[in-house]
Amino acid sequence: MNSDSERPAVTELRLSAFKAHRGVILPLGPLTLLSGGSGSGKSSALQAYEILARLGSGQSLARAVRDVAGGPSACVPAGARPDDQGRRGFRIGCTVSGPVGPVSLDLAVQAEPELRIVGERLTGGGETLLTTALTDPDRPAVQAAWHTAGATPVTRAPLPDDRLGTSMLPLRVAGKTAGQRLVLAAAEQVVVALRSAFVCDPRPEVMRGTGGARAAGGAGLPGATGVTGATGIAGGAGGSAGRGSGVRGGRGKGAGKAREGHDEGRLRSSCDNLPAVLARTSQECARRHAVLVAAVREACVGPVDGLRAVPRQAGVTGAGAAGAGARECGVTGVAGSGAAGAGVTAPRMTASGATGAGAVAAVPAAGRGGTAGAQSGGGPGEAGVQVVLDRGALGEMPVEQLGDGELRFLALALVLLTGPGVLAMDPAGEIPSAHQQMTVMADGMDRCMDRRQARELVSLAVRMAERGHVRLLGTVRDPSVAEGLPGVQVLHLGA
């Protein structure tokens, strides 16, 4: 691939037959927002993209669809009738633009009676580069044929029916002929673009530690990656880098442990380890951190003079109270949304772990190590870190006491300002990050936010997208938050 030309990016999403969608084509720009009423298919569109991204990362089909509510059968369009063999399925696809030009990938997936990929088609450069078809239902394989343009026009071989054939081509194609080199370049372009997706769904209850045990996989997603990262390697395929993915996994056998929560410096999809990541990013780039503080200042009620990670005092829990984190300062009956959203400021924390002016003693941790909201740390008993807002004369306030909308804004803003090296994802290691584009996928991007906060977040996304390294695909309830902002494409579904 010519790294000096445009960065690979998914520029079109096709929902040929997926859930409520039939024959839907969505053009995707650097910053695309989907709007529409409830049931219009906004979340379904992102789900289809996520399935493609997981497959492009080398995950098995079962892993790629396992987070779909209702299972693979829920992806089948309503009213779809089974064929004579009782088979039903769905069809999705995408177009990836890049150095090779536009390359199209289309998939036919059988969801019933058993889950398998029954057809795949890759086209680009005016050629059909790869086709697969199910020829023997009794075998867990499809017959593949890829473009050669040599003495033999095509090469045929069986491929597994639970993996994306495109991601396996670099392991199968020799690259000796011009046709083979075109196949390799097109496959790499598609895989690089799909692997560069990061699903972000900040969950305030998890960030505060009130949503049960901390999820190693972020927002209920496998491998703590959101979308990418698993690459069909460590997540259940033995931890061997490069197997099952055309573009090699960057971390090999050690990747599995990192995805189970040991790599605290990489932000997970649910953003439950936000403090550890902020502790890292604030030290790595002061300018980026200053931009984050400025954005948070615009989104929060009350003064914001700074944002920093500080050691969590041993024996002090995080936000144990639902929605608040009020136990942090020994205060009861104060909701998080009230603490910041309504302008009620928590007492200032002193170095001893007690509160400031009010001199209210901190509540001891319940159990060894406690359940810390918005905290991070190693094993039980370790204090970890917490994030505090500097409110100037009002003192410092743990971010657990922010409202849900403010917490989500903080997490999404951090994602937009960082990159693959800070997020729990596994982009193509062979391609320099300067020649890749990360796509942030945010379903319900403006959830819990007021219009001012949502518009500030979209404005930040505009500024970051202009640099060419970040793309955004999100869903919003109120499309007016993007009015007048340059470069924002709003697609209305269900109209």
Whole-prediction pTM: 0.78
Of 463, 460, 415, residue with least CA distance to 439: 415
> Is pLDDT at 328 greater than 50 in this prediction?
no
> Is pLDDT at 256 greater than 90 in this prediction?
no
CA 276 to chain centre: 18
Amino acid at residue number 186: A
Cis peptide before 113 (omega within 30 of 0): yes
Nearest-angstrom CA–CA distance, 375 and 387: 8
What local confidence, expressed as pLDDT, does residue 92 receive? Answer: 98
395 within 8 A of 383, measured Cβ to Cβ: no
> Is pLDDT at 221 greater than 80 in this prediction?
no
Q: What is the mean pLDDT of the chain?
A: 78
Quote the percentage of the chain above a pLDDT of 70.
70
Q: How confident is the model at residue 314 (pLDDT cuts 50, 70, 90)?
A: low
Looking at the DSSP bridge assignments, the partners of residue 184 are none
> Is pLDDT at 472 greater than 90 in this prediction?
yes
What local confidence, expressed as pLDDT, does residue 242 receive? Answer: 37
What local confidence, expressed as pLDDT, does residue 254 receive? Answer: 39
Write the pLDDT tens digit of every residue in 390-446.
999 999 999 999 999 999 999 999 999 987 666 756 655 555 555 568 999 999 999
Nearest-angstrom CA–CA distance, 215 and 248: 27
What local confidence, expressed as pLDDT, does residue 384 receive? Answer: 82
The token duo for 253 is 């056998």
What local confidence, expressed as pLDDT, does residue 229 receive? Answer: 41
Quote the percentage of the chain above a pLDDT of 90.
58
Write the pLDDT tens digit of every residue in 46-81.
999 999 999 999 999 999 999 999 999 999 998 899
Phi and psi for 140 in degrees, rounded to 5? -80, 55
The token duo for 256 is 């599995």
Nearest-angstrom CA–CA distance, 100 and 192: 13
Cβ neighbors of 274 (< 8 A, separation 6 or more) are: 207, 267, 374, 376, 387, 399, 410, 411, 414
Region of poorest pLDDT, from 240-244, 268-272, 316-320, 487-491: 240-244
Q: How confident is the model at residue 141 (pLDDT cuts 50, 70, 90)?
A: very high
> Is pLDDT at 353 greater than 90 in this prediction?
no
> 18 or 348: which carries more pLDDT confidence?
18
What local confidence, expressed as pLDDT, does residue 156 receive? Answer: 94
Nearest-angstrom CA–CA distance, 265 and 383: 16
Write the pLDDT tens digit of every residue in 367-384.
333 333 444 444 322 348
> Is pLDDT at 366 greater than 90 in this prediction?
no
What local confidence, expressed as pLDDT, does residue 369 receive? Answer: 36
Element (H, E) at 182: helix 178-195
What local confidence, expressed as pLDDT, does residue 432 receive? Answer: 54
What share of residues in the chain are helix, strand, coil (percent, to 5)? 30, 20, 50
Question: Residue 313's CB: how many other CB atoms inside 10 A?
Answer: 17
> 472 or 240: which carries more pLDDT confidence?
472
Cβ neighbors of 132 (< 8 A, separation 6 or more) are: 117, 119, 120, 121, 142, 143, 144, 145, 159, 165
What local confidence, expressed as pLDDT, does residue 412 receive? Answer: 96
Question: Residue 82's CB: how many other CB atoms inside 10 A?
Answer: 12
What local confidence, expressed as pLDDT, does residue 431 receive? Answer: 55
What local confidence, expressed as pLDDT, does residue 433 receive? Answer: 58
Write the pLDDT tens digit of every residue in 287-305.
999 999 999 999 998 899 9
Phi and psi for 32 in degrees, rounded to 5? -120, 130
What local confidence, expressed as pLDDT, does residue 374 receive? Answer: 44
Q: Is the dihedral of CA 231, 228, 278, 466 positive or negative?
A: positive
**Cα angle, residue 95 at apex, residues 94 and 96 outer, rounded to 5°:** 120
Nearest-angstrom CA–CA distance, 266 and 421: 7
Region of poorest pLDDT, from 180-184, 219-223, 412-416, 420-424: 219-223
Write the pLDDT tens digit of every residue in 78-137.
889 999 889 999 999 999 999 999 999 999 999 999 999 999 999 999 999 999 999 999
156 within 8 A of 143, measured Cβ to Cβ: yes
